[in-house]
Amino acid sequence: MNTLFNQSLNVINAGLAGFADNIRQAGGEVTHLNWQPPALGDIAAGLALARLLNHPLVEAANQQAMSQYLAAQPVLVDVLAASEAIPAMAERKLILHAGPPIAWDDMCGPVRGAIIGAILFEGWATDHAAAEQMARGGGVALEPCHHYGAVGPMAGIISPSMPLWVIQNKTNGQRTFSNFNEGLGKVLRFGANNDEVLQRLYWMRNELAPAMQAAVRQLGEIELKPLMAQALHMGDEVHNRNAAATGLLIKRLLPALLQTSTSLSTLQTVVSFIVGNDHFFLNLSMAASKAMMDAAANVPFSSMVSVMARNGVNFGIRVSGTGDQWFQAPANPVEGLFFPGYGVADAAADLGDSAITETAGLGGFAMASSPAIVKFVGGTPADATANSLRMQSITIGSNPAFTLPALNFAPTAAGIDIRKVVDRNILPIINTGIAHKAPGVGQIGAGITTAPMPGFVEAIQALALRIQQHEEAQQ
């Protein structure tokens, strides 16, 4: 004991930083751990988490969900109108939006603006006021894209006559869908809805979609997983940077397109549009990620996240072991770079279905492969690498199909585990665009955000309850 007291004081401090400051002032050495109690200090949730850690049912279910995710083979097989691809859209006036369910009165400005634009696009109303009245009065049904196997970036709007990419998982035959990417700036997905936006949508429906359909059918299918893996090696993370992936896609599409009966004038405008839009592949990346995550969904007792999505108000997650149940919390703001003349006060909260890429181990999870992304979303290349490494702490495993050259070709972290998120207080990181909070303005920047913790805490309690009920039924 005397020997101990004669040694220099070296303390490990966990919790309040003030205690560490006092030790330093007294001349002692201190290592401060930025520790917080798990589950936001909720005792009941903390106990539920403790029951789930190393639980044999959860561990076995996670291995099954992870195996099904890794086995998924998403391929582009067709282009169809939404009313053809999703039968419910042919049966009633239905518009799909990004994120978890939300009523019109609670929606953010960009989503409202995009819905108004979609109503005008469909010809259901002749002016903005009538379109808004129709949406507000329930004249059109508004539901999440994810409820129909679909995804859409930012506002995520899909209406019946919009063209969709059709992705099929060759492993299980399930299909997923996404709309076409309009480019950047004043576009529908950021809430813009003027005549310029509508004219572009008409052209995409009437000329771009038939050309893409003809090319895809000429090819038969395009395997997306190898294309995405190659893009990671070329500087993309296939969420906010898709320059390489778009280039690889056009290399596949153009020779097939030349073999179709597409007119020269249409060919010229279509190719010009695609090569001028580095984000063209984004929607395909999202639908492919959706196919991979749907393969891992609905595995009883799994703690693996199958969906992350935002509607500009709330951030929602779904967990494989709790089925179609949403766990929601207010969406976090986005920290990033703004276009000239805009700032934080102008921005909507986190928005869009594109976080499905992070859910699948891409996007923010693969930032190490895309150092150039920081010029678009902020930070440094070192930050990008650190983000990819940090995500390894909250995942079940990794995906050997997607590797990161900057990390010695280590596989991307994949399979977000709600237990690790809550236990380690590490939130999934997401790259995203920033929409103006007012309808009709459009994109004003891009940046980085995280999923909010309360949804994960709620999911922990729900999964623990399901397991408890199962165990009681077995007794």
Q: Which domains are assigned to the chain?
A: 2-35 (no CATH), 42-67+296-474 (3.90.1700.10), 69-287 (3.90.1710.10)
Q: What is the mean pLDDT of the chain?
A: 94
pLDDT of 246 reads 98
pLDDT value at position 5? 62
Burial 195-215 (b: 16+ CB within 10 A, else e): eebbebbeebbebbbbbbbbb
Query: pLDDT tens digits for 231-259?
Result: 999 999 999 999 999 999 999 999 999 99
Portion of the chain with pLDDT greater than 90, in percent: 80
Complete DSSP assignment for 272-336: HHHHT-TTTTHHHHHHHHHHHHHHT---TT--BEEEEEEESSEEEEEEGGGTT--EEEEPPP-EE
Give the separation between CA 419 and CA 51, rounded to whole angstroms: 10
Q: What is the pLDDT of residues 389-422, one digit of tens each?
A: 999 999 999 999 999 999 999 999 999 999 999 9
- The highest-confidence range among 22-36, 298-312, 325-339, by mean pLDDT, is 298-312
Contact 465, 451 (CB under 8 A): no
Residue 350 dihedral angles phi and psi, to the nearest 5°: -50, 135
Give yes or no for residue 135 having a pLDDT over 80: yes
Whether pLDDT at 6 is above 80: no
pTM: 0.93
Looking at the predicted structure, is the pLDDT value of residue 445 above 90? no
pLDDT confidence tier of residue 124, bands split at 50, 70 and 90: very high
Question: pLDDT tens for residues 95-107?
Answer: 999 999 999 999 9
How much is the pLDDT for 33?
78
> What distance in Å separates the CA atoms of residue 10 and residue 471, rounded to the nearest whole number?
46
Helix axes 243-258, 224-232, angle to 10 degrees: 140
Q: What's the helix, strand, coil split of the chain in %, to 5? A: 50, 20, 30
DSSP 205: I
Contacts of residue 292, Cβ cutoff 8 Å, sequence gap at least 6: 69, 72, 74, 169, 360
Name the pLDDT band for 113 (thresholds 50, 70, 90).
very high
CA 239/CA 358 separation, integer angstroms: 8
Per-residue pLDDT at 4: 60
Angstrom distance (rounded) from CA 167 to CA 434: 27
22-26, 168-172, 367-371 — which is least confidently predicted?
22-26
CA 143 to each of CA 103, 107, 171, 411: distance values in angstroms, whole numbers, following the listed order: 9, 12, 28, 35
- 157-200 residue pLDDT tens: 999 999 999 999 999 999 999 999 999 878 999 999 999 999 99
Per-residue pLDDT band at 378 (split at 50, 70, 90): confident
Q: Hey, what amino acid is at 256?
A: A
Burial class (CB within 10 angstroms; exposed 0-12, middle 13-18, buried 19+) of 29? exposed
Q: Is the pLDDT of residue 1 over 70?
A: no
> Rounded to the nearest 10 degrees, how much is the dihedral formed by the CA atoms of 138, 81, 87, 324?
-70
pLDDT at position 260: 97
CB 280 within 8 A of CB 274: yes
